[in-house]
Chains A and B, each alone.
Chain A
């Protein structure tokens, strides 16, 4: 099956610093990747849609200058949380959709637990 990896799986950083999270599709190419955030006891909240070679599309209420997304290749997207604050602490999950087949299925990474102290 399609595999998506995320790195790192856990990160603790100090308030004011920036953190980069990588999302890779390991065995397929993805023109579109998605970044989600999950709050405790809440559903997955879509933050942005990342398109290879173009600017990301952010959902309403998500600060594009704070959450920088780069989709450098068909297998890699990165999310950088800039000037992180404790309220940015959360579980961040990426997903990727294969190019072929017009599939709606998204394959999710294992997630990254960010803790800002």
Chain B
């Protein structure tokens, strides 16, 4: 049973436009969410996170939105750059979860110059 779902395996966006990556979760206990970026043959790199007490967190070109009632979060990248091309993993954890993080399957983003 996949508790963190990324239903779009891939996404192509023109350089300069907005990239929107979506993520849904099923476990109501999750209260902290993270996005990681991963290049081939490398480990994931932490990108941005959001606590369930917020509905938005912004860091430069990256913004994460959380809709708790819908159990949905999204990562917005604007403007998209070719260097953003990578696999993006949505992840979730919860207080008392001993820092165990559950990952989605990832969405491969391609930013076309």
On A, residues with C-beta under 8 Å from B are 4, 6, 32, 34, 41-44, 46, 49, 57, 91, 93-95, 97, 104-111, 113
Number of A-B contacts (CB under 8 A): 56
Q: Within the complex, which residue of A44, A46, A113 is in contact with B44, where a contact is CB–CB below 8 Å?
A: A44
Q: 4 tightest A-B contacts by CB?
A: A108-B43, A43-B105, A43-B103, A44-B103
Contact status A93-B98, CB under 8 Å: no
Contact status A108-B44, CB under 8 Å: yes
Separation of A113 and B43 alpha carbons in the complex (Å): 11
Considering only residues 87-113 of chain B, those with a C-beta below 8 Å from chain A are 89, 93, 98-106
B49 at the interface (CB under 8 A from A): yes
When C-beta atoms are compared, the residue in chain A nearest to B102 turns out to be: A46
When C-beta atoms are compared, the residue in chain B nearest to A93 turns out to be: B43
Q: Is the interface of A mostly helix, strand, loop or mixed?
A: strand
Q: State the Cβ distance, A54 to closest chain B Cβ, in Å.
A: 12
Contact status B41-A111, CB under 8 Å: yes
Contacts of B89 in A (CB 8 A): 43-44
Mask: chain B, 36-71; 1 = CB below 8 Å from A; 0 = not: 100001111110010000000000000000000000
Contact status A104-B49, CB under 8 Å: yes
Separation of A3 and B35 alpha carbons in the complex (Å): 18
Q: State the Cβ distance, B100 to closest chain A Cβ, in Å.
A: 6
Contact status A95-B43, CB under 8 Å: yes
B77 at the interface (CB under 8 A from A): no
Given A43-B89, A43-B106, A44-B89: A106 in contact with B42 (beta carbons within 8 A): no
Given A43-B105, A49-B98: A104 in contact with B42 (beta carbons within 8 A): no
Contacts of B99 in A (CB 8 A): 32, 34, 49, 97, 104, 106
